[in-house]
Structure 1
């Protein structure tokens, strides 16, 4: 998954998911698997990163690839994505307004949604706090 906007016109935006096809010393070859550029081949160079924190006395720079391995993602990172399978792990009800709706609405069909909810004692449950709509969790578990 991309961690920053590289080239929006080519579909290389923060949160874009990719499959790495080749690794080189200074760039990564990857196929885009989300968005309007689905299937396109992209080359991601090492990028120079400088901390923006003004409290650090020493300036330093490093070169790194703007990607991370993505086996899972936060609800916020999933916003705007359409996924065929979604596993939602709710170990505690800490939702801000609309977060549960975003999480459940990422999946393209009810069949592709799996939800694990734990109660205060860590046991499996079938209820959680929903800040937005009571209807969201009805008929899916």
Structure 2
């Protein structure tokens, strides 16, 4: 936990957000030290064309439960030393961009002190404050605003979130197979060499031992001329 170099070039990848949360929660539980809970404040964006009737339809309990990759959770549980990632650009001039990895140093109420682990400002100490975030995910049925610290616990991350990152050590955790075109390729190509790759498969139904599927939509290649 005391070595920032240990975390900055390694991660665990998983195909879905629920598996990522499972891994992060497990690691959080075994990390020493007290935890601190930060709750978000959620409200419907009335200036975004939402009907007043949606106030009753989408209550606070439902808004609090909305969670997807790229949005800070309603219940953000942190400990000193925990690895986190920024889900969006905050200050590009300071290197605080979508995908930047940080390590928590201090937990206060108005701000969280973090050390930058990746990018051009490695070692820089930054203060992260709460900000308003309006989800742009098309699967969310209503436009709402979440006020929360723009960080996500990131010992593990989804395969899709890892795109454009290159790391020295990756653990690929597949309790169930990948499900979209190219997802397995993305996961395996995030690591610099095969020596830094470990894959854990969990009894995939219909698969022989130590094997998994590689999803490829052949329609993608129909119009390619070789």
**Normalising TM by the smaller chain, what interval?**
0.7 to 0.9
CA-to-partner distance for each residue in 1:103-128, whole Å, 9 max, x for gaps?
0111222122111123207x983222
2:213 corresponding residue in structure 1: 129
Whole-angstrom distance in 1 between the partners of 2:132 and 2:209 = 46
What TM-score do you get using the length of structure 2 for normalisation? 0.49
CA-to-partner distance for each residue in 1:6-36, whole Å, 9 max, x for gaps?
1122221222110111222211121111122
- Aligned counterpart for 1:89 among listed residues 173, 178, 184: 173
- Aligned counterpart for 1:120 among listed residues 205, 211, 216: 205
- Secondary structure of 1:73's aligned partner: strand
Does the CA-based 8 Å contact 1:3-1:68 persist in structure 2?
Answer: yes
- Aligned counterpart for 2:119 among listed residues 23, 35, 38: 35
Give the number of the structure whose residues are more often helix, by fraction: 2
Does the CA-based 8 Å contact 2:178-2:215 persist in structure 1?
Answer: no
Structure 1 stretches (4+) deviating beyond 6 angstroms? Answer: 51-54
Extract unaligned runs of 5+ from structure 2. Answer: 1-84, 217-226
1:106 corresponding residue in structure 2: 190
The CA RMSD over aligned residues, in Å, is: 2.7
In the TM superposition, residue 69 of structure 1 has moved relative to its aligned partner by 1.4
In the TM superposition, residue 55 of structure 1 has moved relative to its aligned partner by 4.6
Does the CA-based 8 Å contact 1:26-1:45 persist in structure 2?
Answer: yes
- Aligned counterpart for 2:148 among listed residues 28, 46, 64: 64
Whole-angstrom distance in 1 between the partners of 2:146 and 2:177 = 38
Whole-angstrom distance in 2 between the partners of 1:50 and 1:5 = 13
1:22 corresponding residue in structure 2: 106
